[in-house]
Amino acid sequence: MTHSHTQESDTYFRAFRKKATGQSVYTFDVVLPFMLHGKLLRSPHAHARIKSIDASKALAMDGVSCVVTGADLAELADPYYGVGLRDQPVIAIDRVRYVGDVVAAVCAVDENTAYRALQQIVVDYEPLLSVMTPSAALMDDAPVLFDTPTRGVSPVIGAGSAYKIDPAPNVLYEYTFGYGDVDRALDSAHALFTDTFEIGRINHFHLEPYVNVARWTGSQVEFWSCNQDPFVLRADVARIFGLPVTDVRIRTPLIGGGFGGKSYCKMEPLVALMSRKAGAPVRLALSMDESMLTLVKHPASLTLTTGVDKQGLLLGRRADITLDGGAYSDASTLVAIKTGFRIGGPYRWQAIDSRARIVRTNTIPSGSFRGFGGTQASWASERQIDMIARRLGHDPVAFRKRNLLKAGEPFAPNDRGIDLDLAAGFDRLIASMPARTKGRGQGVAIGIKDAGGTGNHGQALVRVNQSGQVCVSTATVDIGQGAPSAMCRIATEVLGLPRNTAVYASVDTEHNPPDNGTHVSCATMITGLAVEAAARDALQQVLAFAASQLGCTADDITLEGWLVRHGGALHPLEPMIRKYFGGIGWEFIGRGAFKEPYAPATPMGAENVSWMPCWSGAEVEVDEETGQVRVLSLVVGSDAGRALDMGTCIGQVEGAAAQAFAQAMFEEMRYRGDQPDNATPLAYRVPRVADMPQDFRAFVMESRLGVGPGGLKGIGEAGMLGIAAAIANAIEDATGASLTKTPFTPERVLAALDARQAPDIAASK
């Protein structure tokens, strides 16, 4: 699908040309004088005690500068990291908890020398019993993975939400959310349905691996990092090393894909420790295999009990959710909160009661992944909604429309109302579906998630020079979503200047104002509001200056391009500025900020900034002899509030939908015993062009009800939310086979075909 842009000289096309011609600079490209290269020794055991590490032979090699082990963490102020809850050591201290846990790090003159040195390090392990699944971890006789309380605090939540840290052995965190009287709602139901759904372990598979360069100058450390959250990272590094934040500098070039995998702290503290011990800059570039051992999306099991009345109205839902957190916390607390909160989907309920637990296992740590929590919740919720409709003999489309929230209705008590017309988008989806063909099945789904974060904030600077050239400065990182172009457009719209007059400043914590990071679809909306405010501030300064030179008030003049209209005359600004300020000219520096205030009466502790829908429709053909499923048509839509660039918005929806399609059909990281079975690009299955449906379409609605500039909202995660459920619903429509676990491999399809039975209402009262 191709999209047009009206101004080929804008920020978008400048960036596009650089990428296409290989001129773009990524962290991978950074080279510093006297830079050493780091490589990591990883545990071959899922669970073991480290008895000793002998690095003497490695240190004796020519070209090896140093070896870092857990013993070096004693010099750190706090050697653990994680989001809210901190349990992951910068490097393994006395125990390893998954295959791939980092045990030692070598710094050498080149990568080959570092690799050879790793082979000379001898580690004496005492293998321990491992737990590879949540069910095994929850058994009474299961080995306990952590025997000390978890450090840190839970993220902020509000009324109707509650949490427990370390509520049981091998349970990191438990989040509960609810409103209304669930027991009463379920007791009054005409029919009750209980179903369990599972979602597999997924790798982020960003083509740029994790890459960091660190350099110390005295007590100050600076990074070149592929991290999505430079100011969050700065705070983490400062805490770990006991430094003031002004002694930590993060530079973030372009990022070659992240999808949440590069959010929050990852390899950076270890690279800083390596650089400090080596006394030289150190570059650590993981291989793609190693990147796959760093973070995954949470596998999950979700059991839903849902009550419906005689008219087909949803009454209450109880959810019991188990998320496999892997070996360490990372962002698991956030994922638990969002999964438990979003489990009701886009529908009206009398009561909700959900519990989401993070269970520790000896597997790769789980963390944030595009749409985190929303994909797990939407899969289970939309799959069960369809199953209930079919069991009751209702049309799944009409059943959904009967229960959809309306614009302005709150998703949960005291929260911001839904900022779009869910039914209108659903109608457009239905109208976009292909005509029904015999032998094929069709399915639909409506995913939804809150977007923009809760309590998030952003700051911005907009600088306008004497020639009317604009520089926009924020901490929003370009991970391929077109943020620089969006920020420049917001600024130039306010200033009334052409888009090609604006550039976006590179992200550097020493120069840019801070924000919460580039995740949860908050950049264009939250930081965009800060940019809008900063541009207005700059505009007022320009008008005030011009008025002072023309002997009038700012209300008497208007800015038209880089000319000022006063009465019937136009006055060029540049000569006016140069005459007053002299040869070097002047800059009008506008400042802006936005902060969503905390609100304890809301479930998330602040109103959710916006709501992101995903209307999904699929048509499939199923070979009942082989279990092979062909997705012939896939239609997906979302609401951008206001599309700054329609082509870019559609591209974001398409990209997310392609990821979700792969995760529904074949993508999954597997274990064989306690060893990863396909944690390598050669074995891990990601989508090819030939895998995608021939009929693959996306649309974007513009409700203009968002809180962002001109009514815009975030859209980057939208396409992830409803795809799996829509495809499974289409498979059931075609064959009567009910799939409840992703991905939909031929083996699982055949098993579902064997288990199918005539629809009934066995749970009816």
Average pLDDT of the residues in 637-661? 96
Asked if the model's pLDDT at residue 3 lies above 60, the reply is: no
- Write down the pLDDT at residue 757: 67
What pLDDT band is residue 11 in, cutting at 50, 70 and 90?
Answer: low
Q: How far is CA 542 from CA 472, 500, 565, in A?
A: 16, 19, 13
Decide if 312 contacts 349 (C-beta within 8 A): no
HEC string of 57-85 equals HHHCCCCEEEEECHHHHHHCCCCEECCCE
Backbone angles phi, psi at 633, to 5 degrees: -140, 140
Asked if the model's pLDDT at residue 649 lies above 50, the reply is: yes
384 vs 399: CA distance, rounded Å: 12
Domains of the chain: 31-128+205-292 (3.90.1170.50), 372-452+608-755 (3.30.365.10), 457-595 (3.30.365.10)
Instruction: Give the distance from CA 556 to its chain's centroid.
Output: 47
For 231-269, the DSSP string reads HHHHHHHHHHHT--GGGEEEEE-B-S--TTTTSS-SSHH
- Condensed to tens digits (0 to 9), the pLDDT of residues 39-71 reads 999 999 999 999 999 999 999 999 999 999 999
- Write down the pLDDT at residue 12: 58
Asked if the model's pLDDT at residue 118 lies above 70, the reply is: yes
714 vs 420: CA distance, rounded Å: 13
- Write down the pLDDT at residue 519: 85
Average pLDDT of the residues in 271-285? 98
- Condensed to tens digits (0 to 9), the pLDDT of residues 523-579 reads 899 999 999 999 999 999 999 999 999 999 999 999 999 999 999 899 999 999 999
HEC string of 679-718 equals CCCCCCCCCCHHHCCCEEEEEEECCCCCCCHHHCCCCCCH
The per-residue pLDDT of the chain, averaged, comes to 95
Decide if 550 contacts 557 (C-beta within 8 A): yes
355, two tokens: 């519990």
Q: What is the DSSP letter of 526?
A: I
Average pLDDT of the residues in 105-115? 98
Average pLDDT of the residues in 99-128? 98
- Condensed to tens digits (0 to 9), the pLDDT of residues 130-150 reads 999 999 999 999 999 999 999
- Write down the pLDDT at residue 454: 84
What pLDDT band is residue 761 in, cutting at 50, 70 and 90?
Answer: very low
The residues facing 428 across adjacent strands are: none
Asked if the model's pLDDT at residue 7 lies above 60, the reply is: no
- Write down the pLDDT at residue 762: 44
What pLDDT band is residue 18 in, cutting at 50, 70 and 90?
Answer: confident
Element (H, E) at 751: helix 746-755
Closest CA to 82 of 158, 177, 146, 162: 146
What pLDDT band is residue 690 in, cutting at 50, 70 and 90?
Answer: very high
Asked if the model's pLDDT at residue 597 lies above 80, the reply is: yes
Asked if the model's pLDDT at residue 256 lies above 70, the reply is: yes
- Condensed to tens digits (0 to 9), the pLDDT of residues 345-395 reads 999 999 999 999 999 999 999 999 999 999 999 999 999 999 999 999 999
The residues facing 614 across adjacent strands are: 447
Q: Under 8 Å CB-to-CB from 747, ≥6 apart: which residues?
A: 627
